[in-house]
Structure formats: structure tokens, C-alpha cells
Amino acid sequence: MTDHNLDRIASFSGWASLALLVFFFSNIGIGKYMHLKKISIVAPINGVSEFLLFGVIILLFSTCALLRERAKQKAS
């Protein structure tokens, strides 16, 4: 893979992890709102799927951080 492709993958994984993190916190906020309004006691996404979503966020962020670190070390 070329450096340009790795930069694009790092950028994509960084933005994707940010978008999914916002989605994750929105899910928590919606769940709290639903609990306060006595609609439901659980968030729309809960349990194993919520855990997997957070795992994907961690993987994407780690990919971004490691590729950026690789590019930084390669430049110096």
C-alpha cells in the first residue's frame, strides 16, 4: 500500500470513529430521555449490540492513531 492510501484509510477511520462516537453518546442520551419520560428503561441500542458498537469505535480509533503515528515516524 502506498502512503497516500494509508493516509486515506487513517482519515476515514478517524472520521468514522468520531461519527460513531457521536451516535453512541446520542443513543445514551436518548435512552436517558426515554427513561425520564417513562417510555422505556433501556436505550434504543443496548446490550451486546451497544458493546459491539463501542468495540468498533475503539478499533477504528486505534487504526487511525496507529497509521498517523506510522506516518509521523516515517517522516522523521
Place of cell 461519527: 19
**Dist CA 30 CA 22 (whole Å):** 12
Q: How does pLDDT run along the chain (76 residues), one tens digit per residue?
A: 788 899 999 999 999 999 999 999 999 999 999 999 999 888 899 999 999 999 999 999 999 999 999 999 988 7
**Dist CA 19 CA 41 (whole Å):** 25
Q: Do 69 and 5 touch, CB atoms closer than 8 A?
A: no
**Dist CA 3 CA 1 (whole Å):** 7
Domain chopping of the chain, boundaries: 3-75
